[in-house]
């Protein structure tokens, strides 16, 4: 019953919000030719569509496989952000059964949510806005990605950012007039206790965008002043869709890049069961993300030669597409019950007073992205002593999993076996408490992405190879041990916090809380944090693992770029949404510079 009531409330809120919006609509079909074709209207594609169409002298087409359902209430209201996984708005990808992890999930598989909707994964994510450590980008430049050092990328982070937190607005590290609203999230009293507890185990309270990322802070998230999701679709693409030179077509699944020799001249797409072709006078740009972009390249003959030949795909370019898959992974919640009713429960979050707060002022529990209010970055005792970047991130939820109705949906979304979910979360219904996820930021384990068949509608073979390197296990165990220390802080003792430690099914044979037990725990629960990168890796001319060059052009080919998270050569020490926006901003400038050179017939640096 509660689920029905909550659904009604969310729908009503969504309708109110949608009616306040001035909608602009997509086109049914594309024209025959454009200057630029952008494949994918996700986080990166929305930026590109908005930026490139600023030039009235060019025509831009954006093709999106998903539909125009970006105003779905559960998308818009931050607290419900996880509710659309495993639905028709999600590609519903699965990894192959993992050999070293995911033992607590159905068939040892991690589910990989990816947005199949206008706005892409930016409509399904948890809205966290973090850039990573400056050394991430300095290392990119040192590895051959010229022009990608911190001093080069910071202006692009700032250009898109509209920081709303007064504590951060005056910092020279933040932008305040970009299209992406970023707000500080702190709505429950429990968040204060969590923040102070991290401080008491040695993590300073500070902005993770500062020179040293290590520390703890209230969550920074892409949430606007009205309390709704802010995204590149809202900030870049929708405001531009009135332009005559920008066309957006949804339900258009691009199945092939069309080449003439080694020059990309257009794409083929399927809509309503019919195949269409459209050509590009200037460039084709893939912005479909770390799964769809490499899949489309390989279907079109760009990828590892031996793999393409196995599938009888004519080879256009022999490149290491899909060879260096990287992903952040978490090791399941460390849970604490608390005596004081200071955080989220389902009944509390959907109370009349909270609904009024949200509608009237854009504040309250419904504004909290998935229940997360505090983030911390910490070094692992196993990482190299001379490494500045933290290896661990902690994501603190001001409530406990299992407190929400619709448990069957939660199980299906994440992929737990019923036995695992019941053991860990089955007793949490409206229990006061919190959960904190330990996240590994710098995994050594690498995986691959390969085609399953030549059918563009078939999902590719995703093998992240999680925890194949034992060092990854050690870092996550250290993260668990750091989190368990929180129970001894005065901040947690004041609220009666106690470790809630149900035994993981499959690990009962190991003495509890020993290293062997925690390794079993990690291998059962480690799964994706939804941050796959490097499947179309960027690199210098001498990097044999690189697919695109530092200007994001596909190596050895003309008029084809990849601009999305797949080009990251390594994982940033943070969530990947903000870095993806930065890459798209920078990529848009690369394209504009190339056009300017061609128009002037000048010998610009290429």
In terms of Cα–Cα distance, which of 354, 506, 309 is closest to 419? 506
Q: Give the whole-angstrom CA distance, residue 444 versus residue 100.
A: 14
Q: Give the whole-angstrom CA distance, residue 329 versus residue 528.
A: 5
10 Å CB burial of residue 509 (0-12, 13-18, 19+) is: exposed
Q: Give the whole-angstrom CA distance, residue 32 versus residue 265.
A: 12
In terms of Cα–Cα distance, which of 399, 405, 403 is closest to 427? 403
The answer for residues whose C-beta is within 8 angstroms of residue 380's C-beta and 6 or more apart is: 390, 391, 392, 474, 475, 478, 479
Q: Give the whole-angstrom CA distance, residue 311 versus residue 305.
A: 10
> Binding residue per annotation — 10?
no
CB 489 within 8 A of CB 196: yes
* CA 154-540-327 angle, 5° bins: 65
DSSP string, 441-458: SS----BEEE-SSS-TTS
Catalytic residue among 72, 328, 525, 531: 531
Q: Is the dihedral of CA 81, 84, 85, 90 positive or negative?
A: negative
Q: What pairs with residue 377 in β-bridges? A: 215, 393
Distances (CA, A) of 568 to 172, 294, 479, 548: 25, 13, 25, 10
In terms of Cα–Cα distance, which of 448, 475, 473 is closest to 326? 448
Residue 417 CB neighbour total at 10 angstroms: 18
SS3 at position 162: strand
Q: Give the whole-angstrom CA distance, residue 330 versus residue 113.
A: 15
Structure tokens at 558: 């003309």
Q: Give the whole-angstrom CA distance, residue 129 versus residue 162.
A: 11
10 Å CB burial of residue 352 (0-12, 13-18, 19+) is: exposed
H or E stretch including 550?
Answer: none
Residue 494 CB neighbour total at 10 angstroms: 14
Please state the φ and ψ torsions of residue 341, each to the nearest 5 degrees: -80, 75
E-assigned strand segments in 448-548: 448-450, 461-463, 498-500, 527-528
What is the distance of C-alpha 574 from the center of its chain?
A: 10
- What ranges in 20-96 are assigned the alpha helix state H? 43-52, 73-76
Structure tokens at 69: 């359902």
CB 210 within 8 A of CB 216: no
- Residue 531 catalytic? yes
Distances (CA, A) of 535 to 182, 242, 449, 494, 583: 28, 34, 7, 47, 15
> Binding residue per annotation — 254?
yes
User: Which residues carry out catalysis?
Assistant: 531
> Which parts are annotated binding residues for FAD?
117, 254
> Which parts are annotated binding residues?
117, 254
């Amino acid at each position: 019953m509660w689920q029905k009531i909550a659904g009604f409330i969310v729908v009503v809120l969504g309708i109110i919000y949608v009616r306040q919006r001035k909608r602009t609509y997509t086109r049914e079909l594309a024209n025959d030719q454009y200057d630029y074709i952008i494949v994918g209207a996700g986080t990166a594609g929305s930026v590109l569509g908005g930026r490139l169409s600023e030039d009235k002298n060019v025509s831009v087409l954006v093709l999106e496989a998903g539909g125009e359902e970006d105003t779905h209430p559960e998308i818009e209201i931050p607290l419900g952000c996880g509710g659309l996984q495993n639905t028709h708005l999600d590609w519903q990808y699965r990894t192959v059964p993992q050999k070293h992890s995911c033992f607590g999930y159905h068939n040892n598989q991690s589910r990989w949510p990816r947005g199949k909707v206008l706005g892409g994964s930016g409509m399904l994510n948890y809205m966290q806005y973090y850039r990573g450590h400056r050394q991430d980008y300095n290392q990119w430049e040192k590895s051959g990605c010229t022009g990608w050092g911190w001093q080069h990328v910071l202006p692009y982070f700032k250009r898109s950012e509209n920081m709303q937190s007064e504590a951060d607005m005056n910092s020279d590290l933040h932008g305040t007039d970009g299209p992406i609203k970023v707000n500080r999230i702190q709505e429950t009293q429990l968040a204060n206790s969590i923040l102070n507890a991290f401080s008491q185990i040695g993590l300073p309270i500070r902005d993770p965008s500062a020179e040293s990322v290590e520390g703890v802070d209230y969550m920074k998230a892409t949430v606007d002043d009205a309390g709704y999701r802010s995204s590149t679709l809202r900030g870049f693409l929708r405001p531009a869709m009135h332009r005559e030179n920008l066309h957006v077509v949804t339900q258009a699944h691009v199945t092939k890049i069309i080449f003439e020799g080694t020059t990309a001249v257009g794409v083929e797409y399927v809509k309503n069961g019919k195949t269409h072709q459209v050509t590009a006078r200037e460039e084709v740009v893939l912005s479909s993300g770390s799964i769809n972009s490499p899949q489309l390249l390989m279907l079109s003959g760009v990828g590892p030669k031996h793999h393409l030949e196995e599938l009888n795909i004519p080879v256009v370019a022999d490149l290491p597409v899909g060879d260096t898959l990287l992903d952040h992974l978490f090791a399941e919640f460390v849970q604490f019950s608390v005596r004081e009713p200071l955080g989220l429960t389902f009944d509390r979050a959907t109370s009349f007073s909270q609904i009024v707060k949200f509608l009237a002022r854009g504040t309250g529990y419904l504004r909290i992205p998935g229940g997360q209010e505090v983030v911390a970055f910490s070094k692992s005792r196993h990482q190299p002593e001379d490494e500045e970047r933290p290896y661990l991130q902690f994501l603190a939820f001001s409530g406990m999993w299992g407190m929400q109705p619709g448990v069957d949906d939660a199980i299906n979304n994440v992929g737990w076996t019923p036995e695992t979910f019941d053991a860990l979360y089955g007793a949490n219904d409206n229990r006061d408490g919190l959960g904190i996820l330990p996240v590994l930021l710098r995994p050594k384990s690498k995986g691959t992405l390969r085609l399953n068949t030549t059918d563009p509608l078939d999902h590719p073979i995703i093998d992240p190879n999680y925890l194949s390197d034992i060092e990854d296990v050690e870092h996550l165990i250290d993260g668990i041990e750091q989190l368990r220390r929180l129970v001894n802080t005065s901040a947690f003792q004041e609220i009666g916090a106690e470790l809630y430690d149900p035994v993981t099914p499959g690990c009962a044979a190991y003495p509890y809380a020993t290293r062997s037990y925690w390794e079993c725990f990690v291998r059962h629960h480690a799964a994706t944090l939804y941050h796959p990168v490097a499947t179309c890796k960027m690199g210098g001319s001498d990097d044999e693992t690189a697919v695109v060059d530092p200007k994001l052009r596909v190596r050895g080919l003309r008029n084809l770029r990849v601009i999305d998270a797949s080009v990251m050569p390594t994982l940033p020490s943070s969530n990947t949404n903000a870095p993806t926006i930065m890459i798209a901003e920078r990529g848009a400038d690369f394209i504009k510079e190339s056009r300017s050179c061609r128009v002037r017939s000048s010998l610009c640096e290429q």
